[in-house]
Amino acid sequence: MFGSHLSIAGGLHQALLAAEALHLQTVQIFTRNQRQWTAPPFRQDAVLQFHSEASRLGFGQIVAHDSYLINLAAGDASLRRRSIAALAGELERCDQLGVGFLVTHGGAHGGAGETAGLRRMIDSLERVLKQTASRNAILCLETTAGQGTALGWKFEHLRAIIEAVRAEHRLGVCLDTCHILAAGYDITTERGMAATLRQFDRIVGRDRLRVLHLNDSLKPRGSRVDRHAHIGRGYVGLPAFSYICRQKRFAAIPKILETPKGFAPNGRLWDQINLDILEKLAAGKPVRIRSWRVEKGPARSAPADVP
């Protein structure tokens, strides 16, 4: 099940129509402007149109990503309160749209240390889940590259959080290939990817993996830098993606592209090119990466998207 992070500019349903044009099976969206704390409530007609298009397309496992502003591990009490309220609001918006998974970053401890950061993260999640006890969306903790003081770059961080949260049945994990490479996990070969996934299964739990972000990396293993690249054009390389795409255990899991947007030198959308590569890998077909010079600047973790 392949998807991409697509824009809701012009209306929530526009992301679904763009996914249809790309022949995707799912989509990831922001449900609001991800760089602002507040968001107007959904118009009822917009919600109904989103439901109608999602039903028509048979999209049963849509993914949302939360705001970049949220930091559940923040030492500043005011920032944590705003983050808790914002994440609770995001879960409510997901429920309104019928979105099943909300991806959130692990927060940053800001210099207080991982132990203190994890403790604050756990407390914040407890508050969020208590406030949204009637909501259905699964909150997926995303693996991070470990940049700055970010948490979530080790599988042990995710386990510590999940084990400590009482409503742990409402938590899942989103594994990002760019991030785990940058964090130091060796996934540059099929063997390495398989070993890393076994490690994930042992530490976090096989059933916790609910979303995959398929991104190559502009920076090498262990760089602790989050810079996404097109599939096969970075330091992750094709073997890792080939392994993931051929695994039956991932067939029904949303596999989301967060690669840079725009057009390639041949005039095709990069999303189309990256999707074609993933589909060929899934089918066991050979893939040739054309030697274009691209990605001269840093790529965002996800595309900017102002509704």
pLDDT by residue, tens only, the chain of 307 residues: 999 999 999 999 999 999 999 999 999 999 999 889 989 999 999 999 999 999 999 999 999 999 999 999 999 999 999 999 999 999 999 999 999 999 999 899 999 999 999 999 999 999 999 999 999 999 999 999 999 999 999 999 999 999 999 999 999 999 999 999 999 999 999 999 999 999 999 999 999 999 999 999 999 999 999 999 999 999 999 999 999 999 999 999 999 999 999 999 999 999 999 999 999 999 999 999 987 654 444 344 444 343 3
**Residue 293: per-residue pLDDT:** 57
Question: In which domain, by residue range, is 267 found?
Answer: 2-282
| Nearest C-alpha neighbor of 204 from the set 128, 117, 136, 143 | 143
The answer to the question of residue 159 being in a domain is: yes
Q: How many domains in the chain?
A: 1
**Residue 240: per-residue pLDDT:** 98
**Residue 291: per-residue pLDDT:** 79
**Residue 302: per-residue pLDDT:** 42
The answer to the question of residue 296 being in a domain is: no
The answer to the question of residue 299 being in a domain is: no
Opening angle at CA 303, ends 110 and 204, nearest 5:
55
The answer to the question of residue 114 being in a domain is: yes
**Residue 292: per-residue pLDDT:** 66
Q: Three-state secondary structure along 11-38?
A: CCHHHHHHHHHCCCCCCEECCCCCCCCC
**Residue 106: per-residue pLDDT:** 86
Catalytic residues: 35, 65, 68, 105, 142, 176, 179, 213, 226, 228, 258
The answer to the question of residue 306 being in a domain is: no
The answer to the question of residue 42 being in a domain is: yes
The answer to the question of residue 168 being in a domain is: yes
The answer to the question of residue 292 being in a domain is: no
C-alpha separations of 19 from 101, 214, 256, 257, 275 in Å: 17, 16, 11, 12, 11
**Residue 256: per-residue pLDDT:** 98
Question: CATH number of the domain that 185 lies in?
Answer: 3.20.20.150
